Amino acid sequence: MSKLRQVILIHPDAPSKPAPGAPCNGCGVCCLLEPCPLGVVLSGRRHGACVALRWHGDEPLYRCGALSAPLEVLQSVLPRPMWRLAPWLSPSLARLANRWIAVGQGCDSSVEPEMPPSASRN
């Protein structure tokens, strides 16, 4: 049986993916591969990178924007006339995200990323 392969673009400074069950380290692999249930609701799609995923270069790692930047995420997914509601909705989005993405539950991705043969990390 052949393995399904999918190319995802990961920031070169992102940490390596942890083992399943290990604490999340912000590698971004799971969210770059496909959105979680909350990401599906926010993006309206079930495949591809989650629209809520945000790169935090100062840390450097990926974080769910529904938690780290809920106002920004809402303004990116809501129609412009509804942006005025975003400040009131953002605290609820952050609370919902905290529950839906299972913060603190550990890595639940069994994906094993690999670098393409022509790429190398410095």
pLDDT band, very low/low/confident/very high, at 120 (cuts 50, 70, 90)? low
Q: Among 3-12, 28-37, 68-77, name the one with the lowest average pLDDT.
A: 3-12
- Greater confidence, 48 or 121? 48
Give Cα separations from 31 to 82, 107, 112, 115 (angstroms): 26, 11, 14, 17
Length of the chain: 122
Any long-range contacts for 53-58 (C-beta under 8 Å, 24+ apart)? 53/28, 55/11, 55/14, 55/28, 56/26, 57/13
What is the 8-class DSSP label of residue 118? T
Q: What is the pLDDT of residues 3-24, one digit of tens each?
A: 677 888 899 999 999 999 999 8
pTM of the model: 0.82
